[in-house]
RNA sequence: GGCCCGUUGGAGAAGCGGUUAACUCACAAGCCUUUCACGCUUGCAUUCGCGGGUUCGAAUCCCGCACGGGUCACCA
């Protein structure tokens, strides 16, 4: 009978959710949903010094937004709790003692000074010094209240191997593995030990985690063997990199889920993007709903080499999702960015929003795109040149001046301003685009605007529009040396 | 440095002994257009880190080298 698929996401509460972490959670979730299994959330807080208040909330809020739901965990409850390691402290000590009894572990009383100079088999490793202590000696020192740790007793001979579902067979010589600490002197277990006993008692059958554990996994398997427990399957995940040599980490900034949300990314766009970073579907599909990700996920598609994070591609994907939003949804997301922009409270946002929906990839572009409303600065006259419409500066100058003629008398109505364009078109026998292109430059002074000349003029109002057009005519005249 | 893992264009990647080496982003060119953007079309690896070998045939199998990552904590 095939064993039930159960995996876990086991972050330590550091206070933020790194994008690589999120991806591990995602893959675990996809794997489990695809195989009718369960995913549990376990908080690994055995490092008392690094604990951050509110960190568990950050983990949950991130996963909630990302659409990752756990079957068991501190919030969900479940039959194998508690799901927070600090609440399981006594279990670990008890199990470590069992290992001591069977000779798979031993007490160690070595102090820091000794540890600093110790070498073993030519390397700087613990030398099994305390392994040779007699039972009585150990008991005596324990009774005397000496500080101790419990170390795993790893054989010196032979080698250990296992099969990882993505990397294949991994073999590590036993002599290369150190007798690492299972129980720290503060009585807390180390990761190395705690996760093994938890995974066993939580019936975890698939361990999905970062590949920094790839070569230490044999040690953990030795622990499973020592207890007589069944070893789980392993799926080790590659790293997400900033560039070829650097990991994407919080130290470099911008790697947290929350940062991207704040920048104006849609949660699902982030999820979709990171799903594709290190995993590839059998088809050429790029956009996936969560259901489709589940449907298509398979460990064969998992990559064996690290991937470099490319925010440009994520932005593209985000833009695709933005275009799909209904206008109401778009407006809801966009609103805070308008509130942060220079037009805050002075214009109706809606016309801008309508124009912007197909023109931005991330919401944080909004303030920038709207800035031209207040800012109008001299720009190089070369900007008027347009190969397609065959415009040079000379022609731009003529167009501009013809347009300006009797402009004050004109009604400030959209149609009137459009008719004026036609007039100039006829005058010089041009394509409409030539006039619009010139006028858009003259009135905005920037490369990109939401909407064309007439839309901008309507937003700016008659007075401001005419003022800008006159100004641009003066600048152009100067540049032409007239 | 020892051990473990990896290496296909600028980025993500498909490819699993015979393909014109998919596809997406980026980039470039062109088309369309009342600007910009969207959209559309085309281009972008004569070659798969390098060198050998096996084979009629290698990105795909084998060996060596180089490069990159991971790991060697009372951190996880």
Separation between the CA of A26 and the C1’ of B20 (whole angstroms):
38
Among all strands, which nt has the closest C1' to A168 (CA)? B5
Nearest residue (CA) to C1' of B74: A184
pLDDT at A254: 59
Question: CA-to-CA distance for A344 and A56, rounded, in angstroms?
Answer: 36
Question: CA-to-CA distance for A419 and A415, rounded, in angstroms?
Answer: 6
pLDDT at A234: 97
Separation between the CA of A135 and the C1’ of B75 (whole angstroms):
31
DSSP A169-212: EEEEEGGGS---EEE-TTSPBPHHHHHHHHHHHTT--EEEEEGG
Separation between the CA of A388 and the C1’ of B31 (whole angstroms):
11
Question: CA-to-CA distance for A293 and A275, rounded, in angstroms?
Answer: 8
Question: CA-to-CA distance for A68 and A61, rounded, in angstroms?
Answer: 10
Cβ count near A390 (within 10 Å): 11
Question: CA-to-CA distance for A271 and A347, rounded, in angstroms?
Answer: 34
**Per CATH, domain A1-73+238-324 is 3.40.50.620:** yes
Question: CA-to-CA distance for A135 and A364, rounded, in angstroms?
Answer: 66
pLDDT at A125: 87
CB-count exposure of residue A216 (10 Å: 0-12, 13-18, 19+): middle
Which of A294, A303, A172, A286 shows the shortest CA–CA distance to A238? A303
Among all strands, which nt has the closest C1' to A186 (CA)? B74
Provide the residue ranges of all domains of chain A, joining segments of one domain with +: 1-73+238-324, 89-183, 376-480
Provide the whole-model pTM.
0.92
Among all strands, which nt has the closest C1' to A176 (CA)? B3
Average pLDDT, chain A: 91
The 10s digit of each residue's pLDDT in A334-380 is: 999 999 998 888 888 888 898 889 889 999 999 988 888 888 888 88
The 10s digit of each residue's pLDDT in A118-153 is: 888 878 889 999 999 999 999 999 999 999 999 999
CA angle A72, A73, A79 (to 5 degrees): 55
Which of A182, A172, A180, A184 shows the shortest CA–CA distance to A99? A182
How far, in whole angstroms, is CA A309 from its chain's centroid? 9
Which of A91, A60, A90 shows the shortest CA–CA distance to A75? A60
Residues 6+ apart with CB under 8 A from A53: none
Rounded to 5 degrees, what are φ and ψ at A91?
-60, -40
pLDDT at A2: 58
Question: CA-to-CA distance for A306 and A313, rounded, in angstroms?
Answer: 17
pLDDT at A390: 80
The bases of strand B with some atom under 7 A from any protein CB are: 1-8, 10-16, 22-26, 30-38, 68-76
Separation between the CA of A68 and the C1’ of B22 (whole angstroms):
31
Identify whether the C-beta of residue A50 lies closer than 8 Å to the C-beta of residue A16: no
- Order of strands, edge to edge, in the sheet holding A206-210? A168-173, A159-164, A233-237, A206-210
State the fold for domain A376-480: Arc Repressor Mutant, subunit A (1.10.10)
Percentage of chain A surpassing pLDDT 70?
A: 98
How far, in whole angstroms, is CA A37 from its chain's centroid? 25
Active site residues of A: 250
- pLDDT tens, per residue, chain A with 482 residues: 457 999 999 999 988 899 999 999 999 999 999 999 999 999 999 988 887 889 999 999 999 999 999 999 999 999 998 999 999 999 999 999 999 999 999 999 999 889 988 888 878 889 999 999 999 999 999 999 999 999 999 999 999 999 999 999 999 999 999 999 999 999 999 999 999 999 999 999 999 999 999 999 999 999 999 999 999 999 999 999 988 888 877 554 558 899 999 999 999 999 999 999 999 999 999 999 999 999 999 999 999 999 999 999 999 999 999 999 999 999 999 999 999 998 888 888 888 898 889 889 999 999 988 888 888 888 888 888 877 788 888 888 989 999 998 888 888 887 888 888 888 888 888 888 888 889 999 999 887 787 788 888 888 888 889 999 999 999 998 888 77
Among all strands, which nt has the closest C1' to A110 (CA)? B74
Q: What CATH class is the domain A89-183?
A: alpha beta
pLDDT at A1: 45
């Amino acid at each position: 009978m095939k064993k039930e698929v159960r995996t876990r996401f086991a972050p330590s509460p550091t206070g933020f959710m790194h994008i690589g972490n999120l991806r591990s959670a995602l893959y675990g979730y996809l794997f489990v949903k695809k195989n009718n299994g369960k995913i549990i959330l376990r908080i690994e807080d055995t490092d008392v010094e690094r604990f951050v208040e509110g960190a568990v909330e950050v983990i949950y809020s991130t996963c909630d937004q990302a659409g990752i739901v756990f079957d068991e965990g501190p919030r969900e409850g479940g039959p194998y709790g508690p799901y927070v390691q600090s609440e399981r402290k006594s279990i670990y000590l008890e199990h470590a003692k069992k290992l001591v009894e069977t000779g798979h572990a031993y007490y160690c009383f070595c102090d820091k000074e000794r540890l600093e100079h110790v070498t073993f088999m030519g390397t700087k490793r613990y030398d099994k010094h305390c392994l040779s202590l007699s039972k009585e000696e150990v008991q005596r020192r324990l009774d005397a209240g000496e500080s101790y740790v419990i170390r795993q007793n790893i054989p010196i001979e032979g080698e250990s191997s296992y099969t990882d579902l993505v990397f294949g067979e991994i073999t590590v010589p036993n002599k290369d593995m150190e007798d690492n600490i299972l129980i720290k002197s503060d009585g807390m277990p180390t990761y190395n030990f705690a996760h093994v006993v938890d995974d066993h008692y939580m019936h975890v059958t698939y361990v999905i985690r970062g590949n920094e554990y790839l070569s230490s996994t044999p040690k953990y398997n030795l622990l499973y063997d020592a207890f007589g427990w069944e070893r789980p399957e392993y799926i080790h995940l590659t790293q997400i990199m900033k560039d070829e040599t650097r990991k994407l980490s919080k130290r470099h900034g911008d790697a947290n889920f929350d940062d991207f949300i704040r920048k104006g990314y849609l949660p699902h766009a982030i999820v979709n993007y990171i799903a594709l970073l290190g995993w590839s579907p059998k088809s050429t599909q790029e956009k996936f709903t969560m259901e489709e990700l589940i449907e298509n996920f398979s460990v064969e598609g998992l990559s064996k080499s690290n991937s470099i994070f490319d925010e440009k591609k994520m932005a593209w994907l985000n833009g695709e999702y933005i275009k799909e939003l209904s206008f109401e949804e778009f407006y809801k997301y966009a609103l805070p960015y308008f509130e942060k922009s220079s037009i805050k409270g002075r214009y109706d946002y809606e016309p801008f929003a309508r124009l912007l929906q197909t023109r931005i990839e991330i919401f944080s572009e909004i303030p920038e795109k709207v800035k031209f409303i207040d800012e109008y600065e001299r720009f190089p006259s070369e900007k008027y040149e347009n190969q397609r419409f065959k415009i040079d500066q000379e022609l731009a100058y003529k167009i501009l001046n013809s347009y300006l003629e009797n402009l004050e008398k004109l009604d400030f109505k959209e149609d009137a301003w459009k008719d004026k364009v036609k007039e100039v078109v006829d005058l010089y026998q041009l394509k409409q685009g030539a006039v619009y292109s010139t006028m858009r430059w003259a009135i905005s002074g920037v490369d990109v605007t939401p909407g064309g000349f007439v839309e901008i003029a309507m937003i700016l109002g008659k007075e401001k529009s005419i003022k800008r057009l006159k100004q641009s005519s003066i600048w152009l005249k100067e540049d032409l040396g007239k």
